[in-house]
Each structure stands twice: as structure tokens, then as C-alpha cells.
């Protein structure tokens, strides 16, 4: 038997009874969208229901619907059974469903443009489509031919559809309210900040960036955005886990209540009016516009315990501002990314860095790293490390030893207390034409021994925690400052 290779068109196979796509069957739609890949869809449709048990279909539900969350309220009607038909119409699935069926294969002569039609039976569709045409077997692939189907195979939907069997006691027309949770939605906040260093001011505009990857478009919907990750049962998998980003000193949570609608412990950000949330679309809506809020720039450098650098390291550039009602942005800020701009010598805004924030209450202090300074450097150096013997013995532990068949005995262990004196220097240089102050932090001071002392320091420092000590190091314009510190530790 001679096998002929037939090329199939890459476009959607033609249906003999093809029609234009129908309008959406959705009714009055409301979307409540959360940050963590979740939305509550509420769809009120006007329907006429007969008495008794009937099967009703709800096309145009989300393709990412969670069927177990569906609730339906129709008045005088109860749900007997529901099915979500998620086997959606695609060229591949159309071929799968048509196995064993008769179709028409159309070929076009490339020289004359004339079409030739043959009836074919689809035998298989596994990595390729195998058909029987008369007494020969052919393989269809992607070019030069198209397939015409007589009808749409049963069980294959052009749109995501929820089928519900209802038991109605009171017939007639009424609103039917359909509610369900769906994956495929999410939103975050994006902030554009214009920083004026000379004036010590910042202008901030906040944008809500909304994504719909649910497989369905929701037209003219009322949209509420909820800031916060609502709890979900993910079978032990923490879907909301996010790696912790480095936090600059100066961040402090606020205690002011924002003038916004709340839902439980979450803030709600409604989108004004109605809007179409199209599938595979990213939509942005402004929700914050503040001008002239106080802001400052700072420099920060943190050194790990016993870290010695052979080359100077750039200090972090930090932008600090407040979300307070007075002298701040005056709002609660949803989690997102803050992108910072400054005007150049020609007055044009230029991007200087970005960083993320978590959900931030109103009244908070924020310190965001925007980059690393070109002209401000810090070189930490381990100058020396000396052992200090106390010359004494102390009893550090006493415990009882029990041996089978013998009387218990007490054992005392004596150890010598030893200290280490570590001398560190931090050389801070400034190539800028203006003086700066650099916040230098030494970390790793605790390390579980809980007995660190600072007998000497050339600039008075502050013990921020058991693990960190911080110094505000002033550096003159085009100059340098050296900070020298001694630490006494147990190890």
C-alpha cells in the first residue's frame, strides 16, 4: 500500500455549521480579586426556570473555576447536581474527539488554486493525525490541507461551561446568583516615586496592576481588590511563601488607621465604575497620587562578624520616607515595587533604582535600598585579634551521673573563662563635593554567647540589638573618616 503524506492547515479546522462567536452569557458580574492567585466571582443572570428537575447551563464561567466552591441562589430552586465542562474546543481536542468519525479533507492545488475534496475517516490522533481515505492510509500534519468537520463532537465546549441540574418548585423568570472562587487572577501595586534631594521631597503615584489569566473575559464588571493574602488550604504547600528581602534599618510599622474600606483584617481598593477584565490582559488603575511628602537620602553599610575586605565596598543608597497622615503619604500601601526617579541637570526624570515593600500600614517609616553609591565607600579591616585569659577558674556546670548497680555520683566540670579582643577599623571615603553621613553597622556580635562588650570606640555607637551595633560616621566632602572599635567577646 502506498502511503501519501498529506499536509494539514495550522489553523482551526472548519465546522460545516460554523457561526460567529456568540456574545457572553454572563450577567451582572462582580469580581473580588486577592493578591494570591484567587478571585471571588459573583454573576447574577436573569433566567426562566420551569417546574421540576431541569439541566441549566452557565457558559462563560472562569476556565480556572474551583467547582467545589460553587454556590447558586435562585429562590424556590435547589441544586441537585453540577458539572464543570472544562474540555474546551482546540484543534488538537477536536481531532481527538473525532477519532472514528468521517470528515472532509480539502487540498488546494498550488499552481491552479483548484480545490479537491475527499472523505476520510480519522483513525488516530497521537502525535499526528492518521486517516483512511478510500483504500489508503495517510498522515496529516501541518501544511497545505484543511479538515472540515460535519458537527461539533459531543462533550467539547467552545466556552467554559458549568452545567447544573436544578429542582424548581416555583416556575418563572428570576435572577439566578452564581458565586465561585477561581484561580488565574492577581494584582499588585506599583509605585512611581520622583525624589527631589535638594528639597527633601518626594512625589508618589500608586498604580494597581491587575492580571487575568483565568481563560475567560469578564465584561463590565464591578471590581474590588483586597490587599492581603487570604488563608487557603493548599494540602501542606505554602503557596504564599516569599523569600525574605534584606531590610534596611529605619523600617518601622505604623499604628494609624487608613481612611479606606476594610474587609476583616484586609483593606479594600475598589475600581471606580465598571471595567472589562479581559483574559490574558494586564490592566493598570491609579489609586494614589501624593506630592511633596518629606523624604531623605541616607547611606548604609553592614559588616559581618570578622569580615575583612581587601578592597573598599560601596555603601548602600537608602531612600527614607513616611506613610503617616501628617508629613507622609497618608495612606496604607499594598505590597508592590517602588521605582524611584530623580531629575537630571536638564530637568528630565531618570530612573535610579527600585525595591519592594510588603503590605504597609499607614504611619509607617520606610527605608528602601535604591542602589549602591559610586562615590561613597567603606573598607572594614580586621586589625588584630588577641586572646585575653582571666587567670581564674570557675565552676560552669555540675551534674549527677547514675550507673546501674552503683550509687549516684556528682561531677563538677571547671573551665577557664577566655575572652577575645578584636580590633576593627572602618575606613569611610567620600568623593562627593558635599559631606555625607554613613551608617556603619557591625553585625554578628551575639552569636549565642550573650557576652559582648565594647571597651573602646572612636565614635560613640548605639547598640541597636544584641547582634548589631551602629555608628553614624560623618565624612567631609572629598575626604575620609576612620572608625576604630574594640570588641571583647567570648569566642
pLDDT in tens, 142-181: 556 788 888 877 666 667 888 888 999 989 999 999 999 9
pLDDT in tens, 100-143: 889 998 888 878 878 888 899 999 888 788 889 988 998 886 55
Nearest residue to 369 via CA among 356, 350, 351, 360: 356
Q: Is the predicted pLDDT of residue 339 greater than 90, yes or no?
A: yes
Cell readout for 211 is: 492580571
Residue 102 vs residue 238, higher pLDDT: 102
pLDDT in tens, 377-389: 999 999 999 988 7
Place of cell 459531543: 154
Task: Identify the band that residue 22 occupies on the pLDDT scale cut at 50, 70 and 90.
Answer: low
pLDDT in tens, 110-120: 788 788 888 99
With vertex at residue 443, the alpha carbon angle to CA 439 and CA 449, rounded to the nearest 5 degrees, is 145
Judge contact between 318 and 298, C-beta under 8 A. yes
> What are the boundaries of each domain within the chain?
1-183, 376-489
Nearest residue to 178 via CA among 24, 41, 326, 282: 41
Cell readout for 219 is: 465584561
When the pLDDT of each residue in the chain is averaged and rounded to a whole number, the result is: 85
Task: Identify the band that residue 3 occupies on the pLDDT scale cut at 50, 70 and 90.
Answer: very low
Q: Supply the pLDDT for residue 390.
A: 63
Q: Supply the pLDDT for residue 457.
A: 97
Q: Please tell me the pTM assigned to this model.
A: 0.72
Is 1.10.150 the CATH number for 376-489? no
Measured CA to CA, the distance from residue 357 to residue 27 in angstroms comes to 37
Amino acid at each position: 500500500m502506498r502511503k501519501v503524506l498529506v499536509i494539514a492547515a495550522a489553523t482551526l479546522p472548519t465546522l460545516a455549521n460554523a457561526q460567529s462567536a456568540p456574545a457572553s452569557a454572563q450577567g451582572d458580574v462582580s469580581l473580588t480579586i486577592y493578591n494570591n492567585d484567587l478571585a471571588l466571582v459573583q454573576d447574577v443572570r436573569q433566567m426562566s426556570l420551569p417546574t421540576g428537575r431541569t439541566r441549566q447551563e452557565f457558559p462563560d464561567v472562569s476556565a480556572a473555576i474551583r467547582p467545589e466552591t460553587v454556590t447558586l441562589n435562585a429562590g424556590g430552586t435547589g441544586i441537585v447536581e453540577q458539572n464543570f465542562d472544562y474540555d474546551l474546543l482546540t484543534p488538537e481536542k477536536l481531532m481527538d474527539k473525532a477519532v472514528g468519525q468521517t470528515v472532509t479533507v480539502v487540498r488546494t492545488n498550488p499552481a491552479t488554486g483548484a480545490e479537491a475534496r475527499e472523505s476520510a475517516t480519522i483513525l488516530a490522533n497521537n502525535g499526528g493525525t492518521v486517516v483512511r481515505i478510500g483504500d489508503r492510509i495517510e498522515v496529516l500534519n501541518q501544511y497545505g490541507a484543511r479538515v472540515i468537520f460535519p458537527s461539533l463532537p459531543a462533550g467539547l465546549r467552545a466556552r467554559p461551561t458549568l452545567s447544573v441540574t436544578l429542582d424548581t418548585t416555583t416556575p418563572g423568570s428570576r435572577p439566578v446568583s452564581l458565586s465561585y472562587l477561581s484561580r488565574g487572577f492577581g494584582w499588585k501595586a506599583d509605585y512611581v516615586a520622583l525624589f527631589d534631594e535638594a528639597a527633601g521631597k518626594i512625589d508618589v503615584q500608586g498604580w494597581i496592576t491587575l492580571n487575568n489569566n483565568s481563560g475567560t473575559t469578564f465584561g463590565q464588571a464591578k471590581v474590588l481588590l483586597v490587599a492581603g493574602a487570604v488563608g487557603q488550604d493548599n494540602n501542606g504547600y505554602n503557596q504564599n511563601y516569599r523569600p525574605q528581602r534584606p531590610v534596611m534599618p529605619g523600617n518601622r510599622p505604623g499604628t494609624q488607621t487608613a481612611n479606606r474600606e476594610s474587609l476583616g483584617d484586609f483593606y479594600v481598593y475598589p475600581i471606580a465604575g465598571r471595567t472589562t477584565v479581559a483574559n490574558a490582559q494586564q490592566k493598570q488603575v491609579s489609586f494614589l497620587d501624593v506630592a511633596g511628602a518629606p523624604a531623605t537620602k541616607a547611606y548604609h553599610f553592614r559588616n559581618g562578624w570578622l569580615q575583612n575586605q581587601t578592597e573598599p565596598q560601596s555603601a548602600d543608597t537608602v531612600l527614607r520616607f513616611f506613610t503617616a497622615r501628617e508629613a507622609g503619604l497618608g495612606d496604607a500601601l499594598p505590597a508592590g515595587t517602588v521605582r524611584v526617579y530623580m531629575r537630571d541637570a536638564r530637568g528630565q526624570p531618570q530612573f535610579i533604582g527600585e525595591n519592594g515593600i510588603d503590605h504597609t500600614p499607614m504611619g509607617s517609616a520606610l527605608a528602601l535600598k535604591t542602589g549602591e553609591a559610586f562615590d561613597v565607600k567603606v573598607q572594614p579591616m580586621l586589625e588584630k585579634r588577641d586572646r585575653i585569659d582571666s587567670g581564674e577558674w570557675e565552676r560552669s556546670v555540675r551534674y549527677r551521673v547514675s550507673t546501674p548497680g552503683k550509687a549516684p555520683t556528682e561531677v563538677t566540670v571547671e573551665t577557664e573563662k577566655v575572652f577575645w579582643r578584636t580590633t576593627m577599623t572602618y575606613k569611610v571615603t567620600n568623593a562627593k563635593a558635599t559631606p555625607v553621613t554613613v551608617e556603619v553597622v557591625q553585625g554578628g556580635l551575639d552569636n549565642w554567647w550573650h557576652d559582648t562588650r565594647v571597651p573602646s570606640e572612636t565614635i560613640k555607637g548605639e547598640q541597636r540589638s544584641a547582634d548589631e551595633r551602629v555608628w553614624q560616621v560623618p565624612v567631609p566632602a572629598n575626604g575620609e573618616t576612620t572608625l576604630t572599635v574594640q570588641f571583647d567577646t567570648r569566642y
